Structure 1
Amino acid sequence: MVAIVDYGLGNLGSIANMLKVIGEKSVITADKDKIASADRILLPGVGAFDAGMSKLTETGLVDFIKEQALKEKKPILGICLGMQLLGRKSEEGSLEGLSLIPFESVRFQLDDTNLRVPHMGWDIVEFQQKSPLLEGLIGRQRYYFVHSYHAKCDSKENVLMTCDYGYEFACAVVRDNIYGVQFHPEKSHDFGMALLENFVRRC
C-alpha cells in the first residue's frame, strides 16, 4: 500500500491510476494513521515551493513525514515539487524545506536563448549510480518534465539521475530510503510505470 500525501497540491488522481495499473493499492490521504500504516509514501506536488511547504505545515505533516522517513526508514518518493520539498530550500521562496536530502533548488540560468524556462516536455536522463529505483531499466530512459527550478546537490552521492537542458542538472536525488524525481513518472507512460513499479516492489 502506497500513501499518496494529499496536501492540496499535485496530480493525485493520475498517480493513483498508474499505481492501479501496476497492481499496487494506494490511498490519497493527509491522515497520519493511514500514512503510518502504508508501506511507502509518495509526496507529489505541482506549484510554488512556499505554497507547498505552507500546505504541509497547515496539515501538520512536516515533522510526521520527517519521522516516517528518518526514524521509521519508510521509503518515500517525492515527485516534481514534492522532490524540491525534500531539500533545504529553494530560490523560489523563503521557507525552509524538509531537509531530508542535502540540496537546494535553483532557477535555470540558461545562456542558450533558444531554450525556454520552464523546461517542458520529454527529455532523456542519464543514470549516475546504481539504485533499487533504477533496477532493470535499460536503454534510453525518457520522462516528462515541467519545471523552472532544479536541484543543486551538496554531494554527487545524492545525485541519482541527470538531464541536460542547457547544462547538466540533477533530475533525481537519493539518500538511503528517500528518493526524489523532478519529472512526472505518472505522465511518462511505460518509462514512468517501470520506475514506479521499482519504487513499490524494490525500494
Structure 2
Amino acid sequence: MRWPGVALAGGITALFLIVSLRAVMQGGPPLGLAIRLVALNGVLALSIAAAMTPFLAGIRAVFGRPFLAVHHLFAAVGLVAALLHPALVAIGAGDLSVLVPSFASWTLFWTYGGRVALILILVALAAVFLRRRYPTSWRPFHMLMYAALFLIVVHANLIGTDLGDPVVRVVVNGAFVVVVGAFVVKRWRRRKVRKK
C-alpha cells in the first residue's frame, strides 16, 4: 500500500476509534455497550463502503488493491454489524417484536426506522448475490442501501445514546453527508458520460 493509502486507512481507522472510545467512555452495561458499538461501527463501515463507489480507479491507486476488495471489506463489516445490532437489541429486550417496523405514526416510523433499514439492507444484499443472474436489474435493488443508511442515521439521531456526544454526532452525520456527496458525484458522472 502506498503512503496515500496508509494515510487514508489511518484516517478511517481513527474515525472508528474515536466513536468507539467515546462510546466506551459513556459506559453502561456490557450488552448495552455492545449494542451501541456495533451500531456506531456498522453505520461508519456502511457509509465508507457507499462513499467510495464513485472512485473505482482512485481506490485501486490509493490502496493498491482492487476496488471490490476494499469495498466488500467495509460492506462486510457494516453488514455483520447491521445484523448484530438488532439481534442484540432483541436479546436485551427478550422480545422479537422489537424487529418489526412500526407504522403506528410518522414519528414512530422514523424513530424505529432501523427496523425498515434492516429489511432494505437484506434486499440490497440479495441483489448482490443475484447480480450475475440479473445483470441489468440488480443495481436498483442494491441502491436501496442509500435509503437504508438514511433511515439508520435518522434512527441514530433520534434515539441513539451516543449521538448525544457532539463528536460522535459530527462523525456519524459527517460520514453520511460524504455518502450523499458521493451519490451526487456518481449520478453527475453517469449523466456526463451519457451526453457524450
| Bigger relative contact order, structure 1 or 2 (CA pairs below 8 A, ≥6 apart) | 2
Higher strand share: 1
TM-score w.r.t. the length of structure 2 is: 0.27
Q: Which one has a larger percent helix, Structure 1 or Structure 2? A: 2
